[in-house]
Amino acid sequence: MLDKVSAPARNRTTKWLGAVAVAAIIAGGAVESGLVAPNPAHAELRSMAQPMQGMPSFADMIDRVKPAVVAVKVKVQNVADQGDDEDGQQFSMPDFPPGSPMERFFRQFRDQQMPGRGDRGDRQQRPRQFGQALGSGFFISADGYVVTNNHVVENGSQVTVTMDDGKELNAKVIGTDPKTDLALLKVEGNDFPYVRLAPQKARIGDWVLAVGNPFGLGGTVTAGIVSAQHRDIGSGPYDDFIQIDAPVNKGNSGGPTFNLSGEVVGVNTAIYSPSGGSVGIAFAIPASTVEQVVASLKDKGSVTRGFIGVQMQPVTKEIAEAIGLKEPKGALVAEALKDSPAAKAGVQTGDTIIAVDGEPIKEAKDLSRRIANVAPGKSVSLTLWRQGKERTVTLEVGSQPKGA
């Protein structure tokens, strides 16, 4: 440290630096008007030493949003087969008369091999075993509502959130939606730091930042870009993920992905990884989906989705040619369920739904997502392709049955 260097040492250092400076002037070129003419051979080294211009710094934005991001800790009961040993293998008692010498021998043998197991009655009285799940979340309002993933709090008996300053708060699960993997929590209190959901969709190539609790470390920030949109990874009927390349790992689940304005564009929910760690392929639930689901969970504790009652299949190139469509698009109706809104409106097996309220349907899952977002009781118009012609029917959307 400079303040620990003695005066003589500082003087020697100054003289040495002065000698180096003189040598540099001689090597660099002639002195003209008090300026050193630089040696062209050293230009590249000097440019490398200069700070890079135009590179973004996320520090100011992170200072604003990081206090709203929390670590989510969940106490989870481990439900194991009561008759299994520690490796999941079952021990079977031979069939001897109760109280016989052989029965006592095998009972003692079992107890020696699996201490603490005892007979079936003893096993049922063993204390419950608990584990801990770790994830992330973020406040969306000052009065303590927290968004996270359903799979983080699923089967949890106790949920705790840890704020950026280390403060721990008990949280109540207000509602969950397994089909979109979202959950809404509530902690008691007011005036919490919170963030807003982005009103606009993130574009491919936009900078994004993921903040969360990877591997339980807490408060970690990583940066990347939006790699792709509308990813279907087969996790549910309404898959419509944003793909990002910001490093996201275990424990980031439920954490927010921010744009450079500090708005949440997505909720981190899954990664693709052969190793279990980040390889630059992560998936986030879009803010538009989060907004709809959270509003429903906050209002009702569950999500109510629209339903028209059709079983669909994709329109392939071969099917499109067979039914006279110029290109594969829409959703082919395999069956209109009896007494469903679609059947009552005249939708038939073999129809292809190519638009809802005039908005084109690109594929079958597009129809599922579009109808699911319509409030039950609202009327919509379906554009059908039937026998080489378009026709329009109007129906009232029903409520999706439980388990559908």
* Cα gap 88→83, rounded to integer Å: 9
- Beta strand segments in 259-378, E: 264-271, 282-286, 306-307, 310-314, 331-336, 352-356, 359-360
Q: How far is CA 357 from the centre of its chain?
A: 31
Q: Terminal CA-to-CA distance of the chain, rounded, Å? A: 69
Q: Residue 8: is it exposed, middle or buried by C-beta count within 10 angstroms (0-12/13-18/19+)? A: exposed
* Cα gap 309→345, rounded to integer Å: 11
- Beta strand segments in 272-330, E: 282-286, 306-307, 310-314
The answer to whether the beta carbons of residues 136 and 71 sit under 8 Å apart is yes
The helix/strand/coil state of 256 is: strand
* Catalytically annotated residue among 136, 151, 296, 366: 151
* Catalytically annotated residue among 136, 177, 239, 253: 253
* Cα gap 7→276, rounded to integer Å: 56
**Bridge-based pairing state of the strands 310-314 and 331-336:** antiparallel
* Cα gap 94→86, rounded to integer Å: 20
* 139 backbone dihedrals φ, ψ, rounded to 5°: -75, 135
* Catalytically annotated residue among 136, 177, 181, 278: 181
Looking at the DSSP assignment, which residues form a beta bridge with residue 136? Answer: 71
Is 253 noted as a catalytic residue in this protein? yes
* 67 backbone dihedrals φ, ψ, rounded to 5°: -60, -20
23-54 burial string, b = 16+ CB within 10 Å, else e? eeeeeeeeeeeeeeeeeeeeeeeeeeeeeeee
Is 206 noted as a catalytic residue in this protein? no
Is 230 noted as a catalytic residue in this protein? no
Write out the H or E segment, with its range, that includes residue 379.
strand 379-386
Residues marked as catalytic: 151, 181, 253
